[in-house]
Amino acid sequence: MSPEMRVGRDGRLRPRRKGAVQPLAIAWMALVWCLFWRDFSVANALSGAVLGIGVQLAFPLPPLRMDGRLRIIGLLRLVWMFLSQMLVASVEVSTHVLRREHPKPAVVEVDLTSESDFVMTLVSLITTLIPGSVVVEARRSTHTLFIHVLDVGDDRGVEEFRQRTLGVEQYVLGIMTQPPKPEEVVR
Amino acid sequence: MSWDQVSDVIAAVCFVAAAFFAAVAAIGVIRFPDLLTRMHAATKPQTVGLLFALVGLGLRLGEPSAIGILVLVGLFQCATAPIASHMMSRAAFRAGQVRQDLLVADELSPVMDREEPRGAP
């Protein structure tokens, strides 16, 4: 994640190349490189690290604000929630397919409470991976997701789905320690 | 029963589950009425099926280096599949390839013309 943006020659905003290389990302890409070769030798790790630096210089990512530390318990709870929901929902979709029922789909608007792009990305990834829901449109300015749901049944189902997605957001918020709100700092 | 036999049985169950979900995905594509509902059938049970197949393979092979590759396959599948299905359904919705008569509620179409400014932050 590069720390800042710059205005390019064509007048468009681009991530700055300076400071885009991060040690954690280099370590991750070296690990992936070793896994690809199925061989953990020093030469492999070094060439993986060099490649990682090259990739980060060539494709600098836009800045991502992440305050707070990682909470392992929160992460485990998120992974558990995700895997169990994925399994339950695939069985639900499968019964729909096999019973020849026509599903009752809907497009539901979910206004996320968090202002973070990181949270919005994770929530969209999770809802799209869980069977029966796919993000059709995402608005970054208001942090709103529009989700196509395979089967809601009726208007009550729409509200239920909205609450469930907001619940997913709470799980995602739980993986980081939250920074204090501005008004709490003032007091 | 030794651990080898137990892991073989679990692997077999995983493979059957994987085949089941892949088959359901294919049937769903035929049976569902419009593009977006078919997308649900085509992309999701298939991902779950692949994850089951990877778990089964990992148990059957039992080699650390092979499991490393399998974990990578699973991670990359989970990272890329949502993007593909999102882009396709977004394009489908914008192209009007949605059967409005089937929707119970549609909260997007009324605000569709209020686009937000494009571009990087």
- Which tens digits make up the pLDDT trace of A10-59? 767 776 666 677 888 888 899 999 988 888 888 989 999 999 999 888 88
Residues of B in contact with A140 (CB under 8 A): 116, 121
- Which tens digits make up the pLDDT trace of B24-59? 888 888 888 888 888 888 777 778 889 999 999 998
Q: What is the average pLDDT value for chain A, to the nearest integer?
A: 82
pLDDT score, position B61: 86
Torsion of the alpha carbons at B9, B47, A111 and A12, rounded to the nearest 10 = 140
Of A161 and B113, the one with more pLDDT: A161
Token pair listed for B46: 């298939």
Q: Does A32 touch chain B (CB under 8 A)?
A: yes
Domain range annotation of chain B = 3-111
Does B104 sit within 8 Å of A153, measured CB to CB?
yes
- Which tens digits make up the pLDDT trace of B66-86? 888 899 999 898 888 888 888
pLDDT score, position B118: 58
Q: Does B109 touch chain A (CB under 8 A)?
A: yes
Predicted confidence (pLDDT) at residue B100 exceeds the cutoff of 80: no
B3-111 belongs to which CATH class? mainly alpha
Predicted confidence (pLDDT) at residue B15 exceeds the cutoff of 90: yes
Residue in B21, B31, B82 nearest the CB of A125: B82
Token pair listed for B42: 């085509």
Predicted confidence (pLDDT) at residue B14 exceeds the cutoff of 90: yes
Q: Does B65 touch chain A (CB under 8 A)?
A: yes
Q: Does A27 touch chain B (CB under 8 A)?
A: no
Residue type, A28: W
- pLDDT confidence bin for B12, thresholds 50/70/90: very high
Q: What is the DSSP-derived secondary structure letter of residue B118?
A: P
Q: How far apart are CA A127 and CA A86, in angstroms?
A: 9
Q: What is the DSSP-derived secondary structure letter of residue B32?
A: S
Chain-centre distance of CA B35, in angstroms?
Answer: 15
The ipTM, to two decimals, is 0.82
- pLDDT confidence bin for B98, thresholds 50/70/90: confident
Percent of chain A residues past pLDDT 70, beyond the cut? 82
Q: How far apart are CA A142 and CA A144, in angstroms?
A: 5
pLDDT score, position A185: 47
**Other CB atoms within 10 A of residue A112 CB:** 21
CB B15 within 8 A of CB B56: yes
Q: Is A148 helix (H, G, I), strand (E, B) or coil?
A: strand
Q: Does B26 touch chain A (CB under 8 A)?
A: no
Q: What is the average pLDDT value for chain B, to the nearest integer?
A: 83
- pLDDT confidence bin for A186, thresholds 50/70/90: very low
Does A108 sit within 8 Å of B107, measured CB to CB?
yes
Token pair listed for B94: 């914008």
Q: Which residues of B18-43 are buried (b: 16+ CB within 10 A; e: fewer)?
A: bebbbebbeebeebbebbbbbbbbbb
Q: Report the first-to-last Cα separation within chain B, whole angstroms.
A: 59
Predicted confidence (pLDDT) at residue B119 exceeds the cutoff of 60: no
